[in-house]
Amino acid sequence: MLEWSPLKHVGYLSHTTDWKRGLNMSLLYDAFNGVYFTIQVLTAAIAVYHFAMSIFGLVQRKEDTTHPPQKRFAVLIPAHNEERVVGPLIDSLRAQIYPRDLFDIYLIADNCTDHTADVGRRHGAIVYERTDYEKKGKGFAIEWMLEQLKSLPESDAILMFDADNLVEPKFLNVMNDKLCQGHQVIQGYLGVKNPFDTWVSVSLAISYWYDNRLWQNARYNLGLPCALGGTGLCIDYALLQEMGWEATGLTEDLEFGVRCVKRGVIPAWAHDAKVYDEKPMTFMASFRQRLRWQQGHFNCAKQHMFTLLKEGIQEHSLMKFDTAVYLFQPMRSLIVFLTSVLMFLFNFSFSIKTGSVYLNQPKSFLLWISLILFLEIPLALLLERINWRAYFALILVPIFLWTWGPVTLHAYFTKENRKWYHTVHKRSIRLDQVHDP
């Protein structure tokens, strides 16, 4: 006869509880393994796609200007409290090697409380002052100014610059040539006028140098649309009148560029038309700027990404497919960041081993692709003949790239925000002081 024992019963329950706990942990591990595998395959596929595209940026086609000056430009400078930096920009525009009677410089003093308007007039710009405390931001300022242009001498194209920019002397000549070739939307080369101020500015500068050569130039060589950068932008005026601006979100450049692609207009790249931008010098200033970019990017992706992806596949349009992939970029950044955090939690908090083939293979493959993409950065610096000091900053780039994760996570949860945060510019740098090749 079997004898019942409380101690044996407790032991049985303990064994059963341990077994259930082990089963639950195993199921949790399998679920995580499956999700992680799917995410890593998707991320790796996009990384391979970017690498394949970047190869076409290794060669930069030399394009001589062959058309004489003939296009008339309206140059728009939206500015909010930019009295310290807008003067050198206007001076660089007035120094263009382009007939002075073929372009007008319009400064939009947007809700200014300083002497931006006075500085603009003193340097020779035509100043329009705007006051609207409800519709704030660059996109609204541009939309308002385009209405004013309807009563002014008509131009062939609109040029847009940020108030902190500096422009190379042949910029208008290159844009004139591109317009004469038939291009309707053209993005100029985005250089940096203060790359070596801090570790933040040099990290941003390296990102821009890489994008200019192995993203923008690559897509131009393939006949694909480049990404609009919000400054150094040229738009055919007839097209703009037909489409309307309608880009009043946090990333007005991205919005307009996507609308162009959906319309079948391919934004072209002008590698020889250089404009220099001032980058934030502190991490928090950079964080706020990038947060605005990502918030606007999420909103634009929500509206257009799946439509472009569907149309790209149905129409066999690489142009639309590539734009959809670009709109997915913030989500990819978020995925990479969150999976790195999840791996940390599972490895150290739950002590789950990562010996599975599912975990090791995609992760190993992704690491190799990421390494190759990172090694392309110094290659881009070499191809662009960037100052040797930039190479010493490469050790900081992985740290800065990782910080896109928290920025993007914050942006995801605040993507409905429409408030424009002004980036304060304080340094008055002239074009002859810029050492960015």
pLDDT per 10-residue tile (average), the chain, 437 residues: 49 54 61 70 84 93 90 96 94 96 96 94 96 86 91 90 95 97 97 94 96 96 93 94 78 88 95 94 92 90 93 94 93 80 61 46 64 89 94 92 91 79 72 68
Token pair in block for residue 188 = 């100029």
d(CA 132, CA 108): 12
Instruction: Give residue 357's pLDDT.
Output: 40
Instruction: Give residue 136's pLDDT.
Output: 82
Per residue in 399-422, is it b (16+ CB within 10 Å) or e — as a string? Answer: ebbebbbebbbebbeebeeeebeb
Question: Hey, what amino acid is at 33?
Answer: N
Contact 174, 270 (CB under 8 A): yes
Question: Hey, what amino acid is at 131?
Answer: T
Instruction: Give residue 62's pLDDT.
Output: 84
Contact 254, 300 (CB under 8 A): yes
d(CA 120, CA 328): 39
Token pair in block for residue 388 = 């040797």
Instruction: Give residue 354's pLDDT.
Output: 46
Residue whose C-alpha is closest to residue 383's, from 437, 340, 336, 341: 437
User: For 170, phi and psi rounded to 5 degrees?
Assistant: -95, 15
Q: What CATH number belongs to 42-437?
A: 3.90.550.10
User: For 98, phi and psi rounded to 5 degrees?
Assistant: -145, 140
Instruction: Give residue 351's pLDDT.
Output: 46
Instruction: Give residue 386's pLDDT.
Output: 94
CA-based diameter of the chain, in Å? 112
d(CA 163, CA 88): 9
Instruction: Give residue 77's pLDDT.
Output: 96
The full DSSP string for 389-405 is HHHHGGGGHHHHHHTHH
Element holding 129 (H helix, E strand): strand 126-130
Residue whose C-alpha is closest to residue 184's, from 114, 253, 67, 264: 264
Token pair in block for residue 12 = 């049985």
Q: Say how many Å lie between the first and final Cα of the chain, rounded.
A: 94
What residue ranges in 156-248 does DSSP mark as E strands? 157-160, 166-167, 185-192, 233-236
Residue whose C-alpha is closest to residue 271's, from 217, 352, 197: 217
Describe the chain by its helix, strand, coil percentages, rounded to 5: 60, 10, 30
Per residue in 359-383, is it b (16+ CB within 10 Å) or e — as a string? Answer: beebbeebeebbeebeebbbebbeb
Residues near 407 by beta carbon (within 8 Å), at least 6 away in sequence: 287, 290, 291, 294
Token pair in block for residue 327 = 């709109």
Residues near 346 by beta carbon (within 8 Å), at least 6 away in sequence: 29, 32, 352, 354
d(CA 123, CA 366): 52
Domain ranges of the chain: 42-437
